[in-house]
Amino acid sequence: MNAIDKAIQIVGGKSSLARAIGVTPQMVSQWTRAEKPKPIPVTRCVAIERATGGAVSRKDLRPNDWHLIWPEFEEAKNQDASDDAQPPVGTSSRKAKKK
């Protein structure tokens, strides 16, 4: 199941999603067409993320270009990765106390 279909299911249908994000049901249908679906506009991705309580993220909706649109997510991901870094084996993250 792709991201927009998941959002539709979570919110309770195309009409419910459309109401929640302020577009017509026809617009939502255009995003779900089997042949040549319209891309989901950047301005609607955050609204869909909020309408689904974060279950469908803007990264899910724009997998090929989210990092260009919302670079702060890429920076946050890199920051999280550096926070998880462990000291090299055989060293301590604490400085030795002088006696």
Q: pLDDT digit string (tens) for 29-86?
A: 999 988 888 899 999 999 999 999 999 999 999 988 888 888 887 766 666 655 555 5
pTM of the model: 0.72
Q: Higher pLDDT residue, 26 or 35?
A: 26
The token duo for 85 is 């870094």
* The predicted structure's pLDDT at residue 86: 57
* The predicted structure's pLDDT at residue 84: 54
Helix axes 42-51, 3-11, angle to 10 degrees: 40
* The predicted structure's pLDDT at residue 71: 87
Q: What domains lie within the chain, and their CATH numbers?
A: 3-82 (1.10.260.40)
* The predicted structure's pLDDT at residue 78: 64
